[in-house]
Amino acid sequence: MRRSALFLLTVLASLLAQDRPSSCSSCPTWNIPQPGFRLYGNTYYVGTHGLSAILITSNRGHILIDAALPESAPRIIDNIRALGFKVEDIKLIVNSHVHFDHGGALAELQRLSKAKVAASPWSANVMMKGIVAKDDPQYGVIIPSPKVDAKVETFNDGARLAVGPVAVTAHFTPGHTPGGTSWTWQSCENRRCLNFVYADSLTAVSEDNYKYSQRKQYPHAEDFEGSFKFLESTPCDILVTPHPEAANLWDRLAKRGTNPDSLIDPAACRSLAMGLREKLRQRLLAESN
C-alpha cells in the first residue's frame, strides 16, 4: 500500500510540475528532455539535455547528485523510472552548488523520496532558507531554489558519504560559489573499476560589481586555484560536469557506438582545469581595466 501511494504521489507531482513556467530565459533550452542512460557500471545520467543529474545505484538504495531546475523534476523522475529504478529508493541527495539550475528540483525530489540531503555548510544554510546568499557572487541576479524542508546534514572536506555498498567523496571546490563541492567515486563493470569525477562549475560568473581580484571577498582568485589543483591531481577516468557540454559529454557519447570507451579520458580533468584557469585569467584582466 505504501509503495502504491508513493507511486501515485510521484506521478501527480510530475504532472503538476509540467505546468510550471520556465525559471529563466535559458531554461527551456536547459530543460530539453534527454533519455536517461548508463554512463558506466552502476552510474547513470538522469538529467536533462542541458543540466546533469547523476544516479549511482545499489540494491540497498541510490545516491542522486544534482537536481537541475525546479521544472526539471518530471524529467528526472521519468528518466529514473524508465531505467527501471524508483524515486523512493533514493536514500541520499547531494549537490554541486546551490543555484536554481542545479538544485532547483532538489526539494521536490527529497519530498518524494524522503532521502537524506547533505551539503557543505555554506550550501546547507542556503538550502534550508531557500535564498540566494548575500556572499554568493551572483547575488541579486539569480533566483533562489525552493527551500528544502527536511534537515540538511553537513560534512567536512574529504568526507565519504555511503548508501549501502556505494559511496561518494566530497571535495570542497569554492569559486563559482563559496560552498561549491565536487564529487568522486568508483563504478565497476566486468571487474573493471573506473574513477568518476563530478566536477562542480568553476567559472568566475558574478553580478557586475563583484571583484574576484579583491581578497576581502570570498571566493576570490586564490580560492579558484585550490579547486583547479584538485582537478589536476585527482584520479579521473570519466569526467561529468553540471552543464554536460563543459565536459564534452555529448560529443564523447556520440562516439560510443564505434568506441565503447569514448567516455573515458584520464586527461579530461586536467584539460578542464587548464581551460578554467585561462578563463579566470581573462576575468581578472578585465577587472583590472
The residues that are catalytic are 97, 99, 101-102, 176, 210, 243
Give the three-class secondary structure for 160. Answer: strand
Show the beta-strand stretches assigned E in 166-221.
166-172, 181-189, 192-198
Alpha helices (H) along 53-180:
73-82, 100-103, 106-113, 121-129
Q: In what order do the strands lie in the sheet with 62-65?
A: 37-40, 43-45, 54-56, 62-65, 90-94, 116-119, 152-154
- The owner of cell 526539471 is 72
Q: Which of 117, 102, 111, 110 is nearest to 48 (CA)?
A: 102
Report the 10 Å Cβ neighbour count for 84: 9
List Cβ neighbours of 91 (8 Å cut-off, separation of 6 or more). Answer: 60, 61, 62, 63, 113, 115, 116, 163, 164
Rounded Cα distance, 110 and 87, in Å: 9
β-partners of residue 181 are: 172
- Which helix or strand (DSSP H or E) is residue 153 part of? strand 152-154
Q: Are strands 54-56 and 37-40 parallel, antiparallel or unpaired?
A: unpaired
Strands 238-240 and 160-163: unpaired
